[in-house]
Amino acid sequence: MNSMLQPNINVIDFQVLSACVADKEGQIEILRSFHNENLDDIADLNAALALSDGEAAAKTAHRMKGVSRMVGAQEMQEICLQIETAAKQNDLIAAMKSNSLLADAMRRIEALITKHASN
């Protein structure tokens, strides 16, 4: 399991996001909703991992991965893929290691939302 992210991976790919919604206000709204939903999903993921429930962790990571792909959140998509793959293999240590990257990724998304909203 490779827990290192590609160095050139985007926090948000705005070309992908623009395909969902073209206007800036809509993009900000989508990103805020994405961020808030991810906070809930991260709590669910943490609970599943704490209970050593690989199946629930894989399902949650899979859902997060799909939503991340839809809004162009490449970094989150990659982390969720790593968690999902490890959880499906019942490698909960690797899943937890990848899960530890989510908080930093969420902070980068928060910063990007703030920057995008102020431009």
Classify residue 2: in a domain, yes or no: no
> Residue 95 domain-assigned?
yes
CATH of the domain at 48: 1.20.120.160
Q: Does residue 93 form part of some domain? A: yes
The answer to whether residue 30 is domain-embedded is yes
The verdict on residue 5 lying in a domain is no
What's the CA gap between 42 and 99, in Å, rounded?
9
Domain extent at residue 69: 14-118
Angle (CA) 9 26 6, round 5°: 5
pLDDT tens-digit readout, 16-73:
999 989 898 999 999 999 999 999 999 999 999 999 999 999 999 999 999 999 999 9
How many domains, the chain? 1
| Three-class secondary structure of residue 90 per DSSP | coil
Which one-letter DSSP state was computed for residue 23? S
With respect to residue 88, please indicate whether it lies within any of the assigned structural domains: yes
pLDDT > 70? residue 9:
no
Residues 103, 108: Cα–Cα separation, whole Å = 9
The predicted pLDDT at position 96 comes to 96
Q: Which residue bears the tokens 């199946």? A: 55
CA separation, residue 73 to residues 47, 51, 90, 103 (Å):
23, 28, 25, 14
**pLDDT tens digits, residue range 68-116?**
999 999 999 999 999 999 999 999 999 999 999 998 999 999 998 898 8
- Confidence (pTM): 0.87
Asked whether residue 37 is domain-assigned, the answer is: yes
Within-domain flag for 101 = yes
What lies within 8 Å, CB to CB, of 6 at 6+ separation is 78
